[in-house]
Amino acid sequence: MTLPAALRRLPLRQLVCLVPLVLVTVWVAGNWSVILAGVDELRGADRDWLLAAVAVTGACWVPVCLMRQGTVMERLPAGRLFAAQVAAGSANHLLPAGLGAHAVTLRFLQGCGIPTARAFAALALYSLAQPIGRYTLLLTLMAVYPHAIPLGGPLSAEYGMAALLVLVGGLTLVALVLWSVRPLRGFVRDFLRTALTDARALHTRPARVIALWTGALAFPACQAGVMVTVARALHMPVPTVDIVIAYLAASIVAGIVPTPGGIGSVEAALLIALVGAGSPVSVATAAVLGFRIVTVWLPLLPGALVLAVLVRRKVL
C-alpha cells in the first residue's frame, strides 16, 4: 500500500505537524456531543466578561512589543512596532513553532536597519525569554499556592515525564544533526557567538533589561487573564489561581508540539488542565472554545489586514 502522491511530497516536518490536528479531529468526531454542550454553554456566557476578555487580548500586544524592543539596542519606532506585532500575530497561525511571527518580525527589524545576523540573534533571545517568563510565573505561583496545583492535568507525573522525554529527544536530535553536518555546525557556532555578544550588551542597558523581562512575565500573565475572564463569563466553579496555573501548565505542555498557532495542542492541553482543576467538561470545553475564539480567530482578520498594509507600504 502506497501513500498518495501529494502526501508523499510533503516534508516530514509538515507531516509531524499534521499529527496533532488529526488527533484533535478524531477526538472532536468522537466527542461531538461534548462540543455541542460547550457551544450551548458559550451562548449563555456573560457578555461583559467576554468584552473584558477581548480588551485583555488587545492588551497582550503591549508586553510583546516590550519584549521585541528589549532584544535590540536600537530604539524601534513604537507605532510601526505595534503594527508589526499585530501583523505577526496573524502570520503566526500560518506556520508552526512561531515561524510566521518570526518571519514578519525579521523583515521589520531589517527594515529598521538592523543587520540580519543581529536580527536573528534578537529572535533567538525573544524565543528564549518567552518560555523563561512563563516557567518563572508558573513556578512562582506553585510555590506561593502549593495547594492550588490542578492534579490529573498537565502537571501530573505522567505528563511531566512525557514532556521531559520529548524535550530530551528533541535536544538529542539537534545535537546529532549538528555533529554530522559540519557547515551547519560552523553556522550555529557563529550565530551563537553573535547572539551571546548582543545579549551581554543588552543586559548592560537597564531600560532594555526591564523591557525584555517585564514583557516576558507580563505576556503569559495577560494570556492567563484572558483565560480567567472567559472562565468567569461561563461561571466556571474553579478558583482564579487554579485557572491561571492550569493555563500556564497547559501552554507549556502545548508548546512542545509545533503546530501552527498551537492549534490542536493548546485546545487539548487546556481542556485536560481545566477538567483536572475541577471544571465540568462542558464548561471547560466552552471556556477553551471561547479562549481560542477571542485570542486567535477574532484578531485574525484585523491582523491580516494590517499585514497587507505593511507589505503594501514596504514596511515589511
| pLDDT, tens digit, 9 for 90 and up, residues 173-189 | 666 665 666 666 665 66
The answer to the question of residue 198 being in a domain is: yes
Q: How far is C-alpha 186 from the chain's CA centre?
A: 30
pLDDT of residue 305: 84
Label residue 96 left, alpha or beta by phi (over 0 means left) and psi (-120 to 50 means alpha): beta
Structural domain including 261 reads 43-312
- Is 200 inside any structural domain? yes
**How confident is the model at residue 70, as a pLDDT?**
93
Question: What per-residue confidence (pLDDT) applies to 162?
Answer: 53
Specify if 1 maps to a domain: no
> Considering the domain boundaries, does residue 256 fall inside one?
yes
pLDDT band at 10 (very low <50, low <70, confident <90, very high): very low
Residue 3, pLDDT score: 43
- 88 belongs to a structural domain: yes
Q: Confirm whether 9 is domain-assigned.
A: no
Alpha carbon distances (Å) from 161 to 157, 164, 165, 168, 284: 6, 5, 6, 10, 25
257: left (phi over 0), alpha (psi -120 to 50) or beta: beta
Within-domain flag for 12: no
Residue 2 belongs to some domain of the structure: no
pTM, to two decimals: 0.76
Query: From CA 209, how far away is CA 69, in angstroms rounded?
Result: 10
What is the count of structural domains for the chain?
1
Is 114's pLDDT higher than 80? yes
Grid cell listed for 21: 490536528
